[in-house]
Amino acid sequence: MTEELLVQNKTVVVPGEPLAEGMGFLPSKGTYRDHEMIRAKRLGLVEIDGKVIKLVPLSGCYMPKTGDVIITQVFDVSFSGWRLDTATAYPAMLGVKDATSDFISRGADLTEYYNLGDNLVVKIINVTSQKLIDVTMKGPGLRKLQGGRIIKVNPNKVPRIIGKQGSMVSMIKFATNCKIIVGQNGLIWIDGTPNEELVAVNTIRMIEHLAHISGLTERVKTYLETQLGKKIEEVPPMEEQAYTPAPHPNYGEGEREHRRPQRYR
């Protein structure tokens, strides 16, 4: 039996492309086993970590995941809460008890809290196998958005836009003086002066476009400096934020997958 890697680390592969041959390799997120072969499930970058083969997707839609902070819009007000459009195939439900710490009496007019069309930053607390999404607004940074504008980006590029521990987005915020909230579902809320806001939007679009390139932070910094005509000094550490912590490297999207065995570390 042959044991062979068929692709190099960090190459772009297409769905069905063979990545490795042999039972010694383990398929992780975004890959699957087809007899002896490990193949790619979607378009993305291969990451080879010892014998574990993982794929970082470059396209595709957002799949709701517990713990994610997303930006949503109210599209229905019911007896017991609000239904939210998550910019995915699945609507989310915000129950009265998760919506606010205020006391809401029975039969109260819920539109006094959140009305149709309002944009809310919420956190996913539960996703069922049928993709019914429960969200909450209790938590730091979770709130109703006022003013500003919302842009949509490819949700797979969101980690790149946020950067390590939010470094990239902090830099944009610091440089442009804009308030920015990045939702894991690919919606980004930006509020600032028209000119600086435009720079922020263009920077985010650039990151989205160049997400697969390494050393992006430096490029973004230079871009921001030329656009704004000022030097970016030390970026202050991020204030309290509604960010999804970076997932464990092997944390799956609710799908069954192989955990990385200890010995390969």
Partner 1 sequence: MSMKDEQKQHVQKALQENLRYDGRKKDQFRAVTIEYNISKSAEGSARVKIGDTEVIAGVKMSVETPYPDTPDEGSLMVNAELLPLSSPRFEPGPPSAEGIEVARVVDRGIREAGAIDVKKLCIARAEKVWIVTIDICTINDAGNLIDASSLAAIAALKQATFPKYENNEIDYQTRTDTKLPMRKWPLAITVFKIGNQLFVDPLREEEDVMEARLTVSTTEDGKICALQKGGSTPLTPDEIDQMIVLAQKFGDEQRSKL
Binding mask 129-148 for partner 1 (x = CB under 8 A): -----------------xxx
94 near 112, Cβ under 8 Å?
Answer: no
152 near 187, Cβ under 8 Å?
Answer: yes
Three-state SS sequence of 145-174: CCCCEEEECCHHHHHHHHCHHHHHHHHHHH
What Rg value do the Cα atoms of the chain yield, rounded? Answer: 21
Say how many residues touch partner 1, by CB under 8 A. Answer: 15
Q: What is the enclosing helix (H) or strand (E) of 31?
A: strand 31-34
Decide if residue 229 touches partner 1 (CB under 8 A).
Answer: no
> Of the two residues 194 and 236, which places its CB atom closer to partner 1 in the complex?
194
Decide if residue 177 touches partner 1 (CB under 8 A).
Answer: no
> Which range touches partner 1 (CB under 8 A), out of 52-60, 152-160, 197-205, 249-257?
197-205
State the nearest-atom distance from the C-beta of 152 to partner 1, in Å.
Answer: 11
Decide if residue 201 touches partner 1 (CB under 8 A).
Answer: yes
Decide if residue 208 touches partner 1 (CB under 8 A).
Answer: no
Decide if residue 259 touches partner 1 (CB under 8 A).
Answer: no
Rounded Cα–Cα distance for residues 134 and 233 (Å): 41
Residues of this chain, 87-126, that bind partner 1 according to CB under 8 A: 115, 117-119
Rounded Cα–Cα distance for residues 173 and 192 (Å): 10
Footprint on this chain of partner 1 (rule: CB under 8 A) = 115, 117-119, 146-149, 191, 194-195, 197-198, 201-202
